Structures are given as C-alpha cells and as structure tokens.
Structure 1
Amino acid sequence: MPWNCSSCGESTELGYNVCRTCGACRPGAEPPPPSQRVVRDPIQFSIARLLAAIFWLACGLAFIFHFGATVLDNDAEIGLLGSSSAIFLFFGATVGTVFCGRKGAFIGVLVGGIVGFMIPVVVALLYIAYMIAIGEDWFPGVAD
C-alpha cells in the first residue's frame, strides 16, 4: 500500500522512504544518506518543460500542415511535417512517459499535451476561417 507524503501529499510506493516528488522523508523512517537524497534541479525541470512545449507545438504544426495539404486539397509541398510525424512524436512521448516517468503523472502529461496540441490548431483554424471569410488567400506564399 502506498504512503502519502506529509509535505506535498503525493502518493509514493512502498519500499521508498523518500518522496519522489519533493524529496521529503517518509514519516517514521530514517533520513537517507546524502548520496540517496532526491534533489530536483530547477534548471533541468525548466528545460524539460521547454522541450515539452516545443514537442506539442511541433505536433500541432504537423496537424495543421497535414490538414492544409490534404483536407482542403492544397497541393503545396510542405512535406517536412506530416501526420506520420505527429503520430510518431505522440507515441514516442507516450512510451517515454510510461516507461521513464511515473505512471501517476501520465494522465497529467496527456491532458497537458492535448491542451498544448490544441492551442495552435485552434489558432490556425480561426486564422483560416478569417481569411476565407474576407476572401483572402489563407496560406500566403502558395501559388494556386
């Protein structure tokens, strides 16, 4: 049965005497030696968040490019990113989160990823709808 950390409230599996989230000791357990203490590096955490943001932006752009090239019958050659790239990136992130991260954090990562993925998609679709409504070319730089 897992135990709950008194500092952050996160659930930690039995067998661990240190909270994997904040590094606090389990109530009633001896403090670990200094070499086993969990230290959260704020720089590493910031880099991970930046990489996650870049990843989901790339997924959103891949969807937008695929949508523009196939659904709207645009013959633009924008093959750098496509639906196969988005699928590869999504499954890579999923597998990496499940096997390298904590299972309890998977849902949070998935929800955050979906939100991060949908923001550029919604912005691009609103832009396309606006350009179509005013009669302009919705994808500048592409010849008809």
Structure 2
Amino acid sequence: MSLDKILSIGGKPGLYKLLTQTRTGFVAESLLDGKKITVGFKNNVSVLSEIAIYTLEEEVPLREVFQNIQKKEDGGKTSVGHKHDKLKLEEYFFEILPNYDEDRVYMSDIKKVVQWYNILHEQGITDFAAKQEEEKTEEKE
C-alpha cells in the first residue's frame, strides 16, 4: 500500500487507511485498532504522500524522510519513541534529516513523523518509494 491511501485526520489519533469515498466525505479504517469511521469534508485531512518537511534549502517529501529512517534503522522500528524527551528526539531527527529547518519544524511534527513511521512499520507498510507513474514519467524524459 502506498502513502497516497494513508491519511492523518485532525483531532483523531494515529493514521487511517482510505477505504471508499461517499457523497458527504469518505470512510477510513484506523491502522491502530481497525475501526472504521466516516469522515466529512469539513475535517482537516492530510494525505501522507502530500506532506513535506521543511529544510534550509527545500521541502523534502515525507516518503524520503521515511526512507532515511528506514536506512538508519536497517528496516526496523525507530530507536526512539515519540514520547522520548525533546533533546533525544531532536538529535534523532538531525541524524535522519541534518538540514531540517528548526524554526519551521516543530517538536510536534518530529513526534508525528516518528510515531507515523512506527505505525506504518507495524502494519507492514514499508515501501516508501515514489509512485510508479512518477517513475515512468522520469524514464520518458
């Protein structure tokens, strides 16, 4: 499963898998407990494939940050948890993304990245490569 089917829903913990679209929103399934919920269009919803992290030079797609974590951890879970202290989380994030913008990337963002990576890893979603359509487009050029 790719990151374009994984959602973060404002006000709800964890991550959700997009199941189907309805007239008034969509149905999603929690990756934490498997419960299905209906989400309206008024909710603040982010698709993981559309999220990027600020660096001093550019914005790095979240999938690349996940790939960096995956390399650092040899495909395993993170060595720090999202509930570790601020200093330990900042040190860890500097190891995976050394040039992240400290002024625009907040501690809550770092905690979410670590937590989301671990949730995806537990669910067996570990393929963070770019979408196949993008790769085909690059090959044509």
TM-score range, shorter chain: under 0.3
Structure with more contact order per residue of length (Cα contacts < 8 Å, sep ≥ 6): 2
Greater gyration radius: 1
TM-score, normalization: structure 2? 0.26
More helix by share: 1
Comparing both structures, which one devotes a greater share of its residues to strand?
Answer: 2
